[in-house]
Amino acid sequence: MTEREIGYGEALAELEGILDELDGDEVDVDVLGSRVRRAAELLRLCRDRIASARFDVEQVVAELEAETADVAAPARDEVAADADEPAPSPRDPRS
């Protein structure tokens, strides 16, 4: 990938710099190919980081949903058990 591992923010900043350079009027043809290759490398790195972050977030959300379901399940069971019990009979107002 790269000689040293860079973070997403640094990769994005470098990519934006390359794009600005390529958008300029004075693009050096001798470095054009290497700059495009570097931009592609940075794009891959950014996409990989985004995919990894998305996976991590989805895992955490799934864990939280499972925990919530585990906590809610006993409460639902208690409600269902209460529904099976007969309702208390109303007190006779005459007594």
pLDDT tens, residue by residue, 57-87: 999 999 999 998 888 776 666 666 666 666 6
C-alpha–C-alpha distance, residues 49 and 23, integer Å = 26
For the entire predicted model, the pTM comes to: 0.64
Query: Would you say residue 56 lies in a domain?
Result: yes
For residue 3, tell me if it sits in a domain: no
Q: Is residue 88 in some structural domain?
A: no
In a domain, 45, yes or no: yes
Q: Give the domain extent around 25.
A: 8-82
Q: How many CB atoms lie within 10 A of CB 53?
A: 11
Q: pLDDT digit string (tens) for 16-63? A: 999 999 888 888 888 999 999 999 999 999 999 999 999 999 999 999
Is 19 within a domain? yes
Q: Is 1 within the bounds of a domain?
A: no
- Letter for the amino acid at 80? A
Q: Which amino acid is at 59?
A: Q
Query: Are the CB atoms for 16 and 39 separated by under 8 Å?
Result: no
Indicate which CATH number applies to the domain containing 39. Answer: 1.10.287
Looking at the 3D structure of the chain, how many domains does it have?
Answer: 1
